[in-house]
Every structure is written in structure tokens, then in C-alpha cells.
Chain A
Amino acid sequence: DAGVIQSPRHEVTEMGQEVTLRCKPISGHDYLFWYRQTMMRGLELLIYFNNNVPIDDSGMPEDRFSAKMPNASFSTLKIQPSEPRDSAVYFCASTGEGQINTEAFFGQGTRLTVV
């Protein structure tokens, strides 16, 4: 397996534009997580899915953020409209085969810069 795949690796956009980050989890994993990493706040959990259903989105900062998982092999994190303070590295991770209390495999991340 190629691991968790995220795209794009880097994204630079202007304030006000819509940004869509993509993630392909490891095949067979039941849980998918979206994290944000900044120097100010470290690694923060934004939302996670179990079997494509959002379970906990309490970490999503604002209504400008939304996440979907239309099927077991794909998830998106959308920011609309984007703001400079959204600049961060966004990680997707997956875990499971039925277990959440196990190691999570992280993607390489998407570095988002909003100017």
C-alpha cells in the first residue's frame, strides 16, 4: 500500500478563494482524521470519520471549514472563503480495520499558504 495520499502537497491561494484539500486513506481503514498543524497551536484534530460518517467535528474552527467523505477511499477538506490565518500544514490520517485505538498513519500533508 502506498500509505495515506494527500494532494496537493503545496497550495498557495489568495484570501477569499476556495481551497480544497484531498485525501486517500489506506485501503481497509475505517477511520479518517483531518489535522491542522501550526506553530501557534501545534497539531489539532479538526474532524474524523468512521465508515465515511463524520463522528466528531468539534475541532472544525468555523463554518468556513467543511469536510466530506463520499466513499471509503476519498475525503476532502474545504475552506471557503480562505483567510491568511488558515495558513498551516493540513494532515490526513487513517487508522482502523475496526479499531480506533491503534496507530494512525499520516499522509505527507498539504502546506497551505493564504496570502
Chain B
Amino acid sequence: GESVGLHLPTLSVQEGDNSIINCAYSNSASDYFIWYKQESGKGPQFIIDIRSNMDKRQGQRVTVLLNKTVKHLSLQIAATQPGDSAVYFCAENNYTGTASKLTFGTGTRLQVTL
């Protein structure tokens, strides 16, 4: 029978507008969070990270916000460009003292329209 795959949420944004991609994480003990961008046929590429003792971090055209109260992470992309079209993953890291595990979310597809 037909297999059921992940249905990636899709965000469509017009070129030049700002994009906001949201992510809910599961483990309140997670101490480090990363946003990755994955273009078709390529591996995930690091965008920006944030540690759990921060609530905001800015990069070039990107900002990550962390709300530990509701376990929510967001990625804001300013002046979205066609090259930003990709699947975006958030990942949370949980370090147990002997091992560390990075768990990825299911991803959001960003489509930039001209």
C-alpha cells in the first residue's frame, strides 16, 4: 500500500518580505539549539545556534529567538531572497554528561516567490 510520509509544513513568502519559521522542541533539559538549512540534494547546512542561557541571537539577516517557558524556537529571516528557498530544521541538543544527542525536528519548507 501507499506509505505515509512526513508532510512538511510549507511557508510561502514573497521576495523581500521577512520570514518567520517556528519550531517546538520537546526536552526542557536541552541546552543548545541549532537551525539548519537543507537545499535539495545537499546536506543540512548550519545557519545559527543559540544556547539555553540566551533568548535571542542575531546573525547576518537571521535572528533566532528562544522561549524556554513554552519550549519554542523561531528563526527570522530578514529580506527573504530566492536563495533562501529550502527546508529548515531546528535541532535540540541534550547533553547527559557522558553523551550528547542532537535531535532534529521534522522541518519546514520555505518557498520564496518573486
A interface residues, Cβ below 8 angstroms from B:
4, 33, 38-45, 55-56, 91, 93, 100-109
Contacts and interface: CB of A to CB of B under 8 A. Distances in A.
The 9 closest A-B pairs by CB, nearest first: A106-B43, A39-B5, A103-B46, A43-B104, A56-B99, A100-B100, A101-B32, A42-B106, A106-B44
A14 to B, nearest CB: 21
Contacts of B107: 42
A53 to B, nearest CB: 11
A20 to B, nearest CB: 19
A42 B38 CA distance: 12
Interface residues of B, number: 28
A38 B107 CA distance: 12
B101 interface: yes
Contacts of B104: 42-44
Contacts, number: 58
Of listed B6, B32, B49, B101, residue having the most chain A CB within 10 A: B101
A101 B34 CA distance: 10
Contacts of A45: 101-103
Interface string B19-42: 000000000000110100000011
Interface in B39-95: 41-46, 49, 51, 89, 93, 95
B4 interface: yes
Contacts of A55: 98-99
A56 B3 contact: no
A42 B88 CA distance: 12
Nearest to B105: A42
